Amino acid sequence: MSYPLELPALRALGMGFAQGWFGYYRIPVVAERVQTDTYLACEILAEAAGHMVNNWVPDRLVELVEIELGHRLVNGYYPRLGLAPGQRFASKGGYLARFESASGARLVADSDWIVP
């Protein structure tokens, strides 16, 4: 099957910052992926806005978000993110993966990260 997220066994580092933040502020995790994606979007926006100084122009904000995505190492559920003009999806690609056994307990990759 195609799997457009980081493999569960490899995503611990990417999830650590969001999970730590939720724990510090005592926010219950009831929808992990939605909450982590929201946390990531807010972090990226805050980082980009922090670089705007007194140049509050919408096009500049979009440009800074694109730059910020290209430099991030911690991306929650996604191994790589990137945007450029005309692109609408930050995560492009995925793994070809399968369940190791019929029980579906462990997901294993049959390929490296593939970008079409």
Going residue by residue through the chain (116 aa), what tens digit of pLDDT does each one get?
A: 999 999 988 888 888 889 999 999 999 999 999 999 999 999 999 999 988 888 889 989 988 998 888 888 888 898 888 888 888 888 889 999 999 888 878 899 999 999 88
pLDDT score of 4:
93
pLDDT score of 52:
87
Question: Are the beta carbons of 7 and 107 closer than 8 angstroms?
Answer: yes
| DSSP state at residue 5 | S
What is the rounded distance in angstroms from the CA atom of residue 90 to the CA atom of residue 101?
Answer: 32
Within a 10 A sphere around the Cβ of 23, how many other Cβ atoms? 11
Could you tell me the pTM of the whole model? 0.84
